Each structure stands twice: as structure tokens, then as C-alpha cells.
Amino acid sequence: MATVILKRTGQKMPLVGFGLWKVTKSTCANTVYEAIKAGVRLLDGAGDYGNEREAGQGVRRAISEGLVKREDLFITSKLWNTFHAKEHVKPITKMQLELWGIDYFDLFLIHFPIAIQYVDPAHRYPPEWFGDDGKVYLQNTPLQETWTAVEELVDDGLTKNIGLSNCNASLILDVLRYARIEPQVLQVELHPYLTQEPLVKTVKALGIAITAYSSFGPQGYVELGLDQGAPGLMEHGTVTAIASKYKKTPAQVLLRWATQRGIAVVPKSNSVLRIGENLQCDSFDLEASEIKGISSLNINLRLNDPGDIDSRLAIFA
Ligand SMILES: NC(=O)c1ccc[n+]([C@@H]2O[C@H](COP(=O)([O-])OP(=O)(O)OC[C@H]3O[C@@H](n4cnc5c(N)ncnc54)[C@H](OP(=O)(O)O)[C@@H]3O)[C@@H](O)[C@H]2O)c1
């Protein structure tokens, strides 16, 4: 299995994983179990996805049946926006580990560089974006406070690696100014409609691994009605022509466009067949001109922008 080596720990992060956002809660345990059986070794979860307990059940079944050992898996989770204050970081991470039924994460990311008011998990979990009255309540916790608290998770053995998500280059550079433990991974939206070349170049130069999310562009947002009416990438002539040439699926071409450049991917699917198909995406190589041709589809279409929820959250503006 192709991997990316994380600089600080030397740990190998699989280049192709499985994303848990929108994986149906009622079938999640079985889907995760089947995914591991099909060869998936990286699970990309988050407190916000609301299926950590179920994902953990799938993991524990796979381990108890001897399919894998815990150390064969790379489990990622994320810190939600309501837990950015230093006193909330460790308790919520411990709660998330308990939900999963594991002792440590391989990677723990700050989900968004956005701090919103604390919601007691006993009151509502996952807390999502809004207070009880449907409004967003910002909180003045600087990212430095959150990062310092997240570093302590490494000291305590609750996670092996830490990283950022949804951050631009200037914020990453700022974290590097004060980090005692540097971010090892940046997870961002990245697909042929949002290629982000300058960000990719900078992050690579800084020695931080990149994970692309929403590799299929609008496809992952159709079920939420948030695809902005963008034409599907899997049906795009540029992608389908390359898929026919290599006798691969458009999904595999879209994933390979990223992995061939060392960018990890975490495609989501509720179908075990598709999970297997996605995992087999690096059994061929695209020509440089084909990678360039796919990249030329860029229209800077961002599908996951908190600024659409509340203008004060426009972190990519
Ligand atoms: N850090 C962040 O803020 C953030 C934000 C968004 C996403 N993520 C992570 O990235 C993961 C992936 O992103 P995403 O969920 O937005 O979407 P995605 O993986 O780009 O697309 C998922 C969509 O593609 C379909 N699909 C999957 N494999 C397919 C295949 N081989 N052929 C045809 N259709 C296929 C799925 O349908 P079926 O389920 O019906 O197969 C689903 O509709 C998430 O699950 C999450 O782990 C992180």
C-alpha cells in the first residue's frame, strides 16, 4: 500500500483512505468492518460526523476477528469548533477515543480555524455550528491556545500526530512560528474544480503532508443539496476519456490525479464495492499532460465554505 511518511514520527500514512462524513450511522459499523476487510487501513473520522461510536464498533470487530491489529490501522479524528478553549481539548479528545473504543488516534486535526462557543456534550453531541436558538456564537480563543492544547495530546499519548484542516498558508506559517510540535498534515478541499496549486506548493515546501477532501468535487454535496449545480466531475469528458483509455473508472482517475502527486485522499462511499474500487486507484499512472489537462478544469469552486453559514466565518475570503 502506498503511503506518505510523516516527518516528525516517521509514521506511514496510507495515501488512500476512507472518509466517514455522511457514512450512514445505522450501517456505519458494518461498512467500516467491510472496508477494513477490503483493505482500507486509514479511516478519516471527526467528532462532527456523528458516527464515531459506530466506526469504532467496525474497527473492534475487525480486530477481534483477527483481520488487523490496531497498529495496522491509521485512525484520524478531528477537534470540533466548540472545543477550542484549552480546558476543553483534552476532555473531548478522551471522550472521542472512548466513543471509538481505542486508546490513541494516529492523527488528530483541528477541524476548522474557527472557535465557537462551548456546548456541553451532555447537552448536544455533535454540537454542529449553531446554538440552541439557531444562531452562531463566536468565541475569542486564539488558534495558538488550541494548538498548544493539542500538542499536549501528543505528550499524553492520546494521538501520535497532529495537524490542521481548512487553513490557508498564512495561518499555517503562523502556527509554525510558535509550534513546539509542528503540524504533520493539512487536510483541505481539493479536486479538479479547486486545484489550489499555490497552497499545495507551499505546504509541500514546508514538509507538511496534504490530504485532499471531497476528491469528487460536487458529488459529495449532491446528497446535501449543496453541490451548487456544478456539473459532475465523474461525467466530465476530460475525465471519462482518460478513464476509458486506462480501463479505469472516472472515480479512480480523479483519485489518481491527487495520489500521483503524493496527495493523500479519503473518498467516502456507503457502498463496499465502491470503497474497494476507490482503494484500487493507484494501479496505473497518468501522463503528465493528463494531470495537467485535469488540473485545467479548475474554476476555484469551493463547496465547503463556512462563510456560506455565516459571513463572519468566511475563513477563505
Ligand atoms: N476536513 C474537513 O473539513 C472535511 C470536509 C469534507 C470532507 N472531509 C473528509 O473527506 C471525505 C470525502 O469527502 P466527501 O464526503 O465530501 O466526498 P467525496 O468522497 O468526494 O464523494 C462522495 C460521493 O461520491 C460517491 N462515490 C464514492 N465513490 C464513488 C465511486 N467509486 N463511483 C461513483 N460514486 C462514488 C458517494 O456516493 P455513495 O456513498 O453512494 O457511494 C458520495 O456521493 C469525507 O468523508 C471526510 O472524511 C473532510
Tell me: is residue 84 an annotated ligand-binding position.
no
In this structure, which amino acid lies at residue 291? I
Q: Model confidence over 140-163: pLDDT tens digits?
A: 999 999 999 999 999 999 999 999
Q: Which atom of ligand 1 is nearest to the CA of 46?
A: 47
* Structural domains of the chain, count: 1
Ligand 1 geometric centre to CA of 86 (Å): 31
pLDDT on residue 222: 95
Task: Answer yes or no: is the C-beta of 192 below 6 A from any ligand 1 atom.
Answer: no
β-strand partners of 274: none
Task: Answer yes or no: is the C-beta of 252 below 6 A from any ligand 1 atom.
Answer: no
| List of E strands, the chain | 3-5, 12-14, 18-19, 42-44, 74-79, 105-110, 159-165, 185-189, 209-213, 264-265
The helix/strand/coil state of 161 is strand
pLDDT on residue 260: 98
CATH number at residue 29: 3.20.20.100
Alpha carbon nearest to ligand 1 atom 20, residue = 214
pLDDT on residue 100: 98
pLDDT on residue 67: 98
Q: Which atom of ligand 1 is nearest to the CA of 269?
A: 39
Listed as ranges, residues in the chain with pLDDT below 70 are none
Task: Answer yes or no: is the C-beta of 256 below 6 A from any ligand 1 atom.
Answer: no
Range of the domain at 63: 3-313
Task: Answer yes or no: is the C-beta of 268 below 6 A from any ligand 1 atom.
Answer: yes
